[in-house]
Structure formats: structure tokens, C-alpha cells
Structure 1
């Protein structure tokens, strides 16, 4: 009988791919689903002062975890608006519409973990290339990102 031992995945800081975003933002690609046998995907997101991270969407399959590393993040969780400071944690279950961005007047740095993992590195790369947003809409099932009406998010973000 052959016994297969599990193995760890290690992403050294200097080996992680960085996808630049506008106004000093960036995705640092840490682990995609293929690196973790589908268990999770992880990236680090740095957002410039008051910048949006994602418009309202939900994940049909995955739970998304946000650990705020620096700054303040503003979240819309269903109908609830929440600001989370460095050290705080947000866990969004499948099916809950959510949006997020750096809080007004601050930059933010956040670790994002999606579990179970979905291959999303190419999605994040496409966001970095400022690809027309409508091109991503047709990929919603592939990346498990399902966009919803963003009127509530726009009103929260524009009210500042």
C-alpha cells in the first residue's frame, strides 16, 4: 500500500506576483486553488486612499475572509455598512452580497482568503489590466463572482 503524504504550500514574499492597481494599489497573489488542492485561495490587497476594492457581488460557492492589516476598510454586508480597522476580521458566507473599499481618507491593506478555493489569479490579473468590466461579467461562474445592483454601495461611497 502506498501512502501519500500531504505537502505544504509555501509562497515566499519575494516570489509572489504583484499586480499593480491605480493610485498605489496592488494585488499580491499568494495562493490559488491549484496550489492548495482547492482548499483556499489567498491574496493581499492594498488600496489607495478611499479607493473601492470591489463593487457589490456574492460568491455562490465560497466563504470570503478579510483580515485588515493596515488602515480602515469600509464594507457593505447585505444592507449593513461596517467600518473595520487594522486587526479586524470580516467573514462573508456564500450568497451574501458584499462590497468593500478603503475608508474615506485612508489607505488600506487587507489579506483576503476564499474557501473553498477558486482559480482567481487570472481574474485579479484582468482587473489589474483594467479590462472592460463587461468582459468579466461573462466569467461569473468560472470565478464565482456574481455581481448585484450597486445602488446601495454607490450611495454609501458617494455620501462621504
Structure 2
């Protein structure tokens, strides 16, 4: 549930004038998107930030391969590892990212990630602008049967969000 409140209201218990656009998403709130072995929760879809920022929380099951290496033309991404370890491949560089690691990927940088471990991994993803949140909704619609999308369909969906798979480092 999203609620609008101020810290003064929270401290005094008395209603105060709400600040338009302020969003508080509780631990059991947010839109849930299921994609094969990943459970994503949309914490901010851009509707409270004039589409400047999107934020998701994802739980990747053990041995979850990530997307094909790709680059974004219209948005930057940030990934904060909450628990577990993910492997990020940025171009031809491999980075083991344990809990507490922040990975920032600017526009144009080829990247992918995967959970190669026997434990689930949780990460927060930030998109600026929020463009890519709708991509995940589209992927969920394509994977209603619980499996991954067909490779060509996944790539076509990426292209609608100014994203292309890279083969430079495959």
C-alpha cells in the first residue's frame, strides 16, 4: 500500500497536510512481478517521481542466469546487493558482488548478472529514468506459463525500451 504522510504526522499522530507524490511502500506492499526464477517487487514505478526514478527489489533463486549481456541507450541502472552474491559481467570484466555492494551501470555500458550460488540473492535495482519498470511488466505478460520468454521475443521487447543485446563480449 502506498500512503502519503509527513514525518510530523508520524511523530505527533495528528493528520498533517500530505506532500503530493510522497510514497511509503511497506515490506508487504508493492506490485509483484514473477519471471521464471525471479520474484520482483516494484517499489517505485516512477509515478511519484515524474518518471525520473524507478526502484525494484528482486529475489533471484539459486543458479538463476541473468539476461543476455545488453546495454541501455536511455537509462542508467544501479544495483545494490542486499543479501547473497551475484556475478556481474561488465563488458569482459567479471565482478563478484556480495551483500553490501553497489554496482552502477551508466547508459551504454554492456552488462549482465547472474546468481551462480546455491543461495537466493536479493538486490535493489534503480532505473533513471523509470523506463525499464514497464519492460518487466511486459516480460511477465510474456511468461505467464512460468518459463522464460522465447529469446527472439525477449530481444524484441528489450528493443522497445532502447535496449540491445551485445555480442561484443559473448
Scaled by the length of structure 1, the TM-score of the pair is 0.79
Stretch of structure 1 that moved more, 138-147 or 46-55: 138-147
Q: What's the counterpart of residue 11 of structure 2?
A: none
Determine the structure 1 residue equivalent to 2:30: 16
Q: CA deviation at 1:74?
A: 0.2
Q: Does 1:72 align with 2:85?
A: yes
Structure with larger Rg? 2
Q: Which residue of 1 aligns with 2:12?
A: none
The answer for the alignment partner of 1:124 in structure 2 is: 136
- How many residues in Structure 1 have an aligned counterpart in Structure 2? 146
Q: Tell me, yes or no, if the aligned pair for 1:83 and 1:103 is still in contact at 8 Å.
A: no
Distance in 2 (CA, whole Å) between partners of 1:35 and 1:139 is: 25
* Contact 1:78/1:96, CA 8 A, preserved across alignment: yes
8 Å Cα contact 1:34/1:119 also seen in 2? no
Gaps of 5+ in 2: 1-18
Structure with more of its chain in helix, by fraction = 1
Deviations along 1:102-126, one digit per CA (max 9) or x if unpaired, are 13333211000011221523x2133
CA distance, structure 2, for counterparts of residue 22 and residue 119 of structure 1: 18
Q: 1:135 maps to which residue?
A: 153
Structure 1: gaps of 5 or more residues: 153-160
Counterparts of residues 92-103 of structure 1 (less than 5 Å): 92-103=105-116
For the residue of structure 2 that corresponds to 1:42, the secondary structure is strand
Structure 1 outlier segments of 4+, above 4 Å: none
